[in-house]
Amino acid sequence: MDSPLQLFRELLPFGPSSAEQKSVAAVRGLLDTLVGLSPQETVAKLAATVLPTVNRQPNLHMRFKLLEDIRHETEQALPRLEQEISQAVLPLPLVTTTAALHVDNLLKGLSIAYAGIARGINKGQMESGMSHLFHRNLQRAMAMVSRRQLLAYRAYAAPSASSWQTLHDLYQMVRGPLAMPLNGETAPIEHEYLGALLFAYLEPSKLPRSDLEMINICSRQLAAYASIGDALADPAGIKHPDSCFMVRPDEGNPGYPLSRLQASTSTFGSLLVDCSQVLAALDRNITRRPGKTVEPDLNAPPAVLQSLRVAIGGKSSRRFSRTHFRPRGDLVSGFNSVITFLDGNAFSRRSVDAAHRYNGREFTSSEWALVDESPDGFRLRFIKGEKKTLGAGDIVALQPRESSKIHVCFVRRISSSQVRLEIGLQLMSPQVSVVDVTIEEVAGDCRAIFLHSLPAYGKFSGLIIPPGSYRSGQKVLVKLPGRSLLRQLGNCMEANDGLAFFSLDQIPD
């Protein structure tokens, strides 16, 4: 068993021993061999060869320095791999899955290594001289876990329960009377923890993959406005706002809104995250005037910020219960493909036409099982067909087998794992038409999808058009069969790289 003096020598940077020097030289030599390797080869070698060598370094100061060198090399390789994963089709191809596993292994190894240093210092109960190293390693460990979780979200997969348990355990190491009030060492750790929780509360499975990076950055900025503390043993003892979330440190999940708890549930030992000031920060950004500066300055479109506000405010729960059934359907995705599919190219349901079903089409489809449905949507499970770069916010057309009815939907949720891919769809309108439209100040007609009614939004119709320089207030002529409607573009309900979705208003007198 190590004596206190020996532990003290390992923790403080006295002159390096011969073994320590050899260990450092070995790591430096391995890092030199990374030159010229591809990002995936670099990540794999760092995880399999370099990191285990660093973990054998007995001096904790030197081990941290070497881990920082590995982290620097990691930052050179990871962005490209993360981008490839974000843009890959779903379910992920084998080559992309392999790359994701290498990245996950490295991030996991780094988090364990940083946490090991922090635990070593904590176990030795060192004085304030080691405080800086202790807190830096805790923050680094939590950052690596958070990045692992973001990696999972990039593929619409759920982070593991163990990653959440690790975050909870690391945060518990810094909680307590001595950690309050927050200071320059403890604040980054709490913000890292709250940032991960906030991002999870935003339900990344409902967000477009192209927006995940931006929204993750927003959640880190907003973390400074959330507060966390011990929950009351009796949740009925005080009225909490809907924006409060409860976290159980002994459970492998990010927690859940306090409003979902039954009145008799005890919250003893739990943490309460209050996001009231997060909502206020979002409101400042949503309502700010052009040229006005607000804090925090969130670099996100107002529509995205409004979606975040709904999620944090606890107002995004499902409105209808689900009815389970198991038919199959064909799915077509993408604005242009959906228009082609709707415009006279839907599948015939006569068996004699089966041989010609895939001839002469300008789009591809995939087959899905309709797992369940509600009055305003469906949950589908992928069976076979061309893999898609589906994302939350994409438009799709769904036609159940043995039916001539085509449903135009938006993808609202995606869940991906190694064994299945599922998506949640919101049905937009009971009746849709492909139309030509003329928009004021825009040359020529364009093809669009006219939504005759929008039950989930209000008593008005809607229009889904290609993305472009369209704005609210422009007059639009919708050319329906046998008649034309003169309307005005109302609020932009949603917009992304593939489409713009506007409400349609009556022309004011």
* Integer Cα distance of 431 and 453 in angstroms: 7
pTM, 2 dp? 0.77
CB 494 within 8 A of CB 392: no
Q: Where are the alpha helices (DSSP H) in 155-235?
A: 161-172, 187-201, 212-222
Angle at 449 between CA 446 and CA 450, to 5 degrees: 110
* Integer Cα distance of 26 and 28 in angstroms: 6
Give residue 133's pLDDT: 92
C-alpha torsion 229→232→238→239, nearest 10: 60
Per-residue pLDDT of the chain (509 residues; tens, 9 = 90+): 455 545 554 555 545 556 677 778 888 899 999 999 999 999 999 999 999 999 888 889 999 999 999 999 999 999 999 999 998 888 888 899 999 999 999 999 999 999 999 998 887 765 556 889 999 999 999 999 999 999 999 999 999 999 999 999 999 998 865 556 778 888 999 999 999 999 999 989 888 888 899 999 999 999 999 999 888 755 555 667 778 999 999 999 999 888 777 666 677 789 999 999 999 999 999 998 888 889 999 988 888 888 889 888 865 544 444 444 558 899 999 999 999 999 865 444 433 344 344 444 667 888 999 988 888 889 999 998 877 778 889 999 999 887 778 999 999 999 988 788 999 999 999 999 999 999 888 888 899 999 999 988 888 899 999 988 788 899 999 998 888 999 999 988 888 888 999 999 988 76
Nearest in space to 241 (alpha carbons), one of 197, 201, 198, 274:
274
DSSP string, 215-281: HHHHHHHHGGG-EEEEPPS-GGGSPPPTTEEEE-TTSSS--EEGGGS-TT---TT-EEEE-HHHHHH
Give residue 361's pLDDT: 60
* Integer Cα distance of 382 and 90 in angstroms: 9
The total of other beta-carbon atoms located within 10 Å of residue 441's CB is 9
> Coil, strand or helix: which one is 67?
helix
Give residue 123's pLDDT: 79
Tokens representing residue 273 in the block: 């995250």
- What digits encode the pLDDT tens for the residues 102-112? 999 999 999 99
CA of 3: how far to CAs of 10, 56, 69, 358, 485, in Å? 11, 19, 30, 76, 86
* Integer Cα distance of 265 and 268 in angstroms: 9
Give residue 372's pLDDT: 86
* Integer Cα distance of 451 and 500 in angstroms: 13
CB 395 within 8 A of CB 408: yes
- Counting Cβ atoms within 10 Å, is residue 103 exposed (0-12), middle (13-18) or buried (19+)? buried
Give residue 18's pLDDT: 66
CB 502 within 8 A of CB 450: no
CB 363 within 8 A of CB 340: yes
